[in-house]
Chains A and B, each alone.
Chain A
Amino acid sequence: MQIDRPFPQIEGRLEDARLLFGRGRYIDDLPVGPSTLHAAFTRSPYGHATIAGINKDAALAVDGVVAVYTAADLGAVLDPFPSIVRGAPEYRGIATGKVRYVGEPVAVVLARDRYAAEDGVSALDIAYEALPAVVDVDAAAAETAPLLHDDFGTNVVWRNRYRYGDPETAFREADRIVGIDLKFPKYNSTPLETYGVIAEYLPETDGYVIHGNFQGPFSLMPVLARALRVPDSRIRMVVPQDIGGSFGIKAMIYPYMGLIAACARLAERPVKWIEDRAEHLLGSASGTDRNSHIEAAVSRDGLVRAIRMNIRENVGAYLRAPEPSCVMRSLTTFSGPYRIESGEIEAACVLTNTLPTGLNRGYGGQQYMFSLERLMDAIARETGIDRIEVRRRNFLKAAEFPYRTTTGSYYDSGDYHGCLERALDYLRNEGWERMREELRASGRLVGIGVATCVHSAASNIGYVTLALSPEERAKRGYNAKSGTNDFAHIALDASGRLRVQIGTAGAGQGHATAVAQIVAREFGLGVRDIDVIDRIDTETTPWTITTGTYASRFSVVVGGAVQRAAARLADHLRIIASSLLDAPPDQIDIEEGMIRVRNSNSSLSLRQLAGAAQWNRGDLPDDVVQLHVSESYGAPNLRSPDSENRVNAAATYGFMADFAMVEIDPVTFVPRVLKYIAVHDVGTAINPQLIRGQIAGGIVHGLGGALYEHLDYDESGQMMSASFMDYLCPTASEAPQMSIDHFDAKSPFTVLGVKGCGENSAMSAPAAIASAVDDALSEFNGSIAELPVTPPAIWRQVAGAS
């Protein structure tokens, strides 16, 4: 039965009280027994060096130290982590023979507490012989560059070429070719809570129990299981109730889960490791930095016919799963919101002496949106057409959806013109242009920037396999990959209360609240009438390979499963009620905790129904079903890539219209984002407050990448931002005033019409802010090709112009 009610709303969230009273349960809050050992890693002080010798004696002599393990020891129980790219250099998560980046684990010390473990680290005697390091992606790709992995023979660990439509003709016939060179920086979203793992080995079953703040994707569990040499189900993965932010980076905890689990097995005791902030900055993971060239074949009236792109992606010292997937968004949605029917993308992943990369909120999205939107601004500049007008001309039109892009992505719905117009309304009503003129008249450098982007949600796991060639994918024995799916379980207890169980490993997105809203709507109940369990324990929580909180998939996939489970349970209740109330099921309505026969006085409460069904099952007819339902849901239209590298990369595609206003101090060149407008098509809004929260957080992540946050290295491979004094996270003072609104172009394909929103402006804000900086520097012909935009960088542009 189709229920047509608005989603019930509440003030605040179900999660809030627990967290506000200080009763959250994060990984470091879990109680551990007295036998538990505490781990600390010895990490490489060199960007590149041979390990000449390790002497454990002094470390083992330290009071409280129990064991010291190196790669040689751990290798007895831990294999390399499998890579997506066959033949890629071995990745063990701990250095063997050589160190390849500052912060790379070299040994792990186990002790009675973390203090003693760090004493052991201080005492451990390791001899290194320094080697020349290379940190820049283009320098590393050169033939003369120092080799990171000697056996591999090159630092270019992966390369591939993709061609869609007919780019040759488009470029031949173009009225104009606009090209730019860009550098996107290395940074990450740096959750406030670091990694944590507590692992135990169970010799009876040859299995592991691992507690960790792992966000998924659970496709990394088989990677971990292979390394630990056990079947997937022999790892009992327990994700604590609360995670202190994840943003992609908490997918990349998996090598540490492997290392700590292996330690626990060798030491025959549980082992706990809480990463500290320095370790996190040096040794967790980061987004990839990228040098690229992008050019467009443009017609006289500013229409983009084709794009060519050359991408050199810096994956750090190892190519580890799920890389090289970061590149793929630049292929599968290279045309963004524009009708660009041809494209040619050449991509290479290069190894350098820097921290290996991984997911970062919007995985690959910020890199590609930065290129495409910088290109649109360059086209506007070169053709003399207004920046917004260029975009409008190239937009897909509302009537064209669903629209199949040349890369196979299947855009479900949208109204890009309408959404942009809504954002422009904000801009006009808030008087941005007048404000810019006034501030400029008083001698300040002020600019307005724009980005219009497509955000995809609920990714198709198959897109990852674009890393392989069509020939490799066609080989016999190759297992194709596609889809994204998840479970939900719902039950009515004997007192008439509904309880829902999901497994998402959320980190503050408010999943429990949203799930309760979906279920409450179905049953006409209040949000607080629903209990939600949103923890993962793989022993009891149903999960799939695609489980996890990533790729903005929650509302689409888990929301879909919850909706289905709720609807099916409601159907069951109608059947039970039909026998108790003696009316056909389709005449029975459920609302406000009551089950009523339509147009009659006959009714019973949920509690009565539940009581009867639980306690008096014998008197009910045989065809009456149970009071708990499990449903799975797989997002639609997701197949594996075809022989032309075409694939629908995600279940749904939203749209974002972002504007940023930037002010630059004309003397010190310190930039500040004053205001930000984000109007996003997120499809159906289950909970507008949660959506606003996601978008606002994303804006500041994008702002961080645009102006402040940078994991940068000097030439010798030393990280210059290894503390929060140097890795500059924006504070409330740097965060702009925001106007956030959502636009509803419902998805015709997803169960609830939702489109996801978890990554949005984290991807688009760097582009919008760069655009605003250009505008602020217009009198100097400024053009930002590199992030972060620092005061010295602006100064160079201004000094260069005058």
Chain B
Amino acid sequence: MKPAPFKYIEVADEEALTSALADYGDDARLLAGGQSLVPMMNFRVVSPEVVIDLNRVGALSYIDCRDDVCRIGALTRHAMIEDSDPLSRRCALLGQAVRNVAHRAVRNRGTTGGTLALAYPGAEIPLALMTLDTDIILRSKRGERRLGMKDFVLGALDTSLSGDEYIRQVEIRMPPPGSAASFVETSRRHGDFAIAAAAVVAARDDHGRLDYLRAGVAGGTGAPVRLTALEEALSGDDPDDGRMADSVHEAIAAIEVFGDHHYPEDFRRHVLKGVLQRALKDAIVGSERRHVR
């Protein structure tokens, strides 16, 4: 399990990165944390001719939370998100999601841009970002563009990135104060990719009515899915168990779910419902408590 030979280009700033991508484009792979790329190269599942290492582009590594927006640089390591106080205060969902990603040694290297570009089904961070209102900022020599998560992740291992582009930044519009987040996932072992995962954030208005609800699921769904119909159906007065179960059932019935050798489609749907219901309950109950206080 040794990688095939490649040409190694290390870039120190975004300008060099942009031109390297313009020069090598489709023949090249960006190397960020390497926690997915290097295993694939070791297995020789991919053998890029050129590897562009962006680890020394320090300007892409930051967490900047101001006003209602949180900006995260593409090279920000998962561990930085895990350890970030502003994020855990203002955007608890992401912090919860990241704790479910692999193990600390992997999180010390793995990056926000890497996990987004990979778009692995069952990956936690893309689910959290899909659930929140997130824009992805992409850049190339041709210029910069901004895509909503939904337009960015197209399916399992499929994104809108073109060969000469890189992910520069993630912009999250933060949930209102007093919101509660719940990230629930099921996997066979601690730290594995999710068989099924659900992310929910809920907040209430002054009268205690649910006026902000964000819900998403991943695992067997190709790209993570934001469940807007369910969000609408459950906003307002607190749903009782029956209404919640019905909405969850409808929401999961409406999305595309794939089975595989280990987890058949009907099982996946069953579990997606289960984790979603749990996450909804957690977040809704959590937000209530906050309001009362």
Interface residues of chain A, those whose CB is within 8 Å of chain B, are 114-115, 118-119, 122, 276-278, 665, 667-670, 708, 712, 714, 720, 723, 725-726, 728, 730-731, 733-734, 790-792, 795
Contacts of B86 in A (CB 8 A): none
Contacts of B196 in A (CB 8 A): 668
A731 to B192 CA separation, bound complex (whole angstroms): 11
Residue-wise interface mask of B (172-194) relative to A, using a CB-CB cutoff of 8 A (1 in contact, 0 not):
00000000000000111111110
Within 8 A of A (CB), among B1-52: 1-5, 43-44, 47
- The reply to whether A791 and B267 form a contact with Cβ atoms under 8 Å apart is yes
Contacts of A670 in B (CB 8 A): 186-188
The chain A residue with its CB closest to the CB of B1 is A276
Is B123 positioned at the interface, with any CB of A under 8 Å from its CB? no
CB proximity of B79 to chain A, nearest CB, Å: 19
- The reply to whether A667 and B278 form a contact with Cβ atoms under 8 Å apart is yes
In the complex where A791-B271, A795-B267 touch, is A278 in contact with B1 (Cβ < 8 A)? yes
- 22 example contacts (A-B, Cβ-Cβ < 8 A) are as follows A115-B2, A115-B3, A115-B5, A118-B1, A119-B5, A122-B44, A668-B186, A668-B196, A670-B188, A714-B261, A720-B261, A723-B43, A728-B188, A728-B192, A730-B189, A731-B189, A733-B191, A790-B188, A791-B195, A792-B262, A792-B267, A795-B270
Assuming A725-B193, A734-B189, what are 12 further A-B pairs, CB within 8 angstroms? A115-B5, A119-B4, A668-B275, A670-B188, A708-B189, A720-B261, A720-B262, A725-B192, A730-B189, A731-B189, A731-B191, A790-B262
- The reply to whether A114 and B190 form a contact with Cβ atoms under 8 Å apart is no
Q: B4: which of A122, A668, A733, A734 is its contact (CB, 8 Å)?
A: A122
- The reply to whether B275 and A792 form a contact with Cβ atoms under 8 Å apart is no
- The reply to whether A118 and B44 form a contact with Cβ atoms under 8 Å apart is yes
- The reply to whether A733 and B189 form a contact with Cβ atoms under 8 Å apart is yes
A668 to B44 CA separation, bound complex (whole angstroms): 34
A456 to B274 CA separation, bound complex (whole angstroms): 45
A720 to B261 CA separation, bound complex (whole angstroms): 8
- The reply to whether A792 and B4 form a contact with Cβ atoms under 8 Å apart is no
Q: Which 3 A-B pairs have the closest CB atoms?
A: A667-B274, A733-B190, A668-B186
CB proximity of B4 to chain A, nearest CB, Å: 6
Contacts of A795 in B (CB 8 A): 267, 270
Contacts of A119 in B (CB 8 A): 4-5
A733 to B196 CA separation, bound complex (whole angstroms): 19
CB proximity of B99 to chain A, nearest CB, Å: 13
- The reply to whether A792 and B263 form a contact with Cβ atoms under 8 Å apart is yes
A795 to B273 CA separation, bound complex (whole angstroms): 14
The chain A residue with its CB closest to the CB of B260 is A720
Q: Which residue, A720, A723, A728, A791, has most C-beta atoms of chain B within 10 A?
A: A791
Q: Which residue, B2, B4, B44, has most C-beta atoms of chain A within 10 A?
A: B2
Is B58 positioned at the interface, with any CB of A under 8 Å from its CB? no
Contacts of A276 in B (CB 8 A): 1
- The reply to whether A278 and B4 form a contact with Cβ atoms under 8 Å apart is no
The chain A residue with its CB closest to the CB of B273 is A667
In the complex where A115-B2, A118-B2, A276-B1 touch, is A792 in contact with B264 (Cβ < 8 A)? yes
Contacts of A708 in B (CB 8 A): 188-189
A730 to B271 CA separation, bound complex (whole angstroms): 22
CB proximity of B258 to chain A, nearest CB, Å: 14
Contacts of B5 in A (CB 8 A): 115, 119
- The reply to whether A667 and B275 form a contact with Cβ atoms under 8 Å apart is yes
- The reply to whether A731 and B278 form a contact with Cβ atoms under 8 Å apart is no
A670 to B188 CA separation, bound complex (whole angstroms): 6
CB proximity of B241 to chain A, nearest CB, Å: 14
The chain B residue with its CB closest to the CB of A119 is B4
The chain B residue with its CB closest to the CB of A671 is B188
Within 8 A of A (CB), among B62-86: none
A276 to B277 CA separation, bound complex (whole angstroms): 42
A730 to B190 CA separation, bound complex (whole angstroms): 9
CB proximity of B75 to chain A, nearest CB, Å: 24
A712 to B264 CA separation, bound complex (whole angstroms): 15
A276 to B42 CA separation, bound complex (whole angstroms): 10
CB proximity of B178 to chain A, nearest CB, Å: 28
- The reply to whether A114 and B2 form a contact with Cβ atoms under 8 Å apart is yes
A712 to B5 CA separation, bound complex (whole angstroms): 32
A670 to B3 CA separation, bound complex (whole angstroms): 36
Contacts of A792 in B (CB 8 A): 262-264, 267
- The reply to whether B186 and A731 form a contact with Cβ atoms under 8 Å apart is no
A634 to B278 CA separation, bound complex (whole angstroms): 62
A118 to B261 CA separation, bound complex (whole angstroms): 29
Contacts of A720 in B (CB 8 A): 261-262
A119 to B47 CA separation, bound complex (whole angstroms): 11
The chain A residue with its CB closest to the CB of B185 is A668
The chain B residue with its CB closest to the CB of A795 is B267
A665 to B5 CA separation, bound complex (whole angstroms): 46
Contacts of B271 in A (CB 8 A): 667-669, 791
The chain B residue with its CB closest to the CB of A794 is B267
Within 8 A of A (CB), among B239-275: 261-264, 267, 270-271, 274-275
A795 to B259 CA separation, bound complex (whole angstroms): 15
A720 to B262 CA separation, bound complex (whole angstroms): 9
- The reply to whether B186 and A665 form a contact with Cβ atoms under 8 Å apart is yes
CB proximity of A729 to chain B, nearest CB, Å: 8
Contacts of B195 in A (CB 8 A): 668, 791
Residue-wise interface mask of B (276-292) relative to A, using a CB-CB cutoff of 8 A (1 in contact, 0 not):
01100000000000000
CB proximity of A316 to chain B, nearest CB, Å: 20
Contacts of B190 in A (CB 8 A): 731, 733-734
A372 to B227 CA separation, bound complex (whole angstroms): 50
CB proximity of B244 to chain A, nearest CB, Å: 14
The chain A residue with its CB closest to the CB of B277 is A667
Contacts of B192 in A (CB 8 A): 725, 728
Contacts of A278 in B (CB 8 A): 1, 43
Contacts of A730 in B (CB 8 A): 189
Contacts of B193 in A (CB 8 A): 725
Contacts of B267 in A (CB 8 A): 791-792, 795
- The reply to whether B189 and A668 form a contact with Cβ atoms under 8 Å apart is no
Contacts of B278 in A (CB 8 A): 667
A665 to B188 CA separation, bound complex (whole angstroms): 11
Contacts of B188 in A (CB 8 A): 670, 708, 728, 790-791
